[in-house]
Amino acid sequence: MTTELTVEGMSCGGCEQTVESALEELDDVENAAADNESDRVRVSGNADTDIIAQTIEKAGYTVKH
């Protein structure tokens, strides 16, 4: 399953890496790809959307619902 979310606050490649690394630590995430230019994050795997959003927010970014 692939989940796409809009994330505010990413402004550079370092931000992308921070979000991707945080998400890839989750057991049910196979892959995470963040794009600061489109403010989007694509997550592959079986992780719950709420857990994904909470993880992004714990990393310091805002998920638009």
| pLDDT tens-digit readout, 7-47 | 999 999 999 999 999 999 999 999 999 999 999 999 999 99
Beta carbons within 8 Å of 63's beta carbon, 6+ residues apart: 5, 6, 7, 8, 53, 56, 57
Q: Where are the domains of the chain?
A: 2-64
Residue 65's pLDDT band, with cuts at 50, 70 and 90, is confident
Residue 11 forms beta bridges with which residues?
none
More confident residue, 63 or 65: 63
19 neighbors 61 (Cβ within 8 angstroms) = yes
Could you name the CATH architecture of 2-64? 2-Layer Sandwich (3.30)
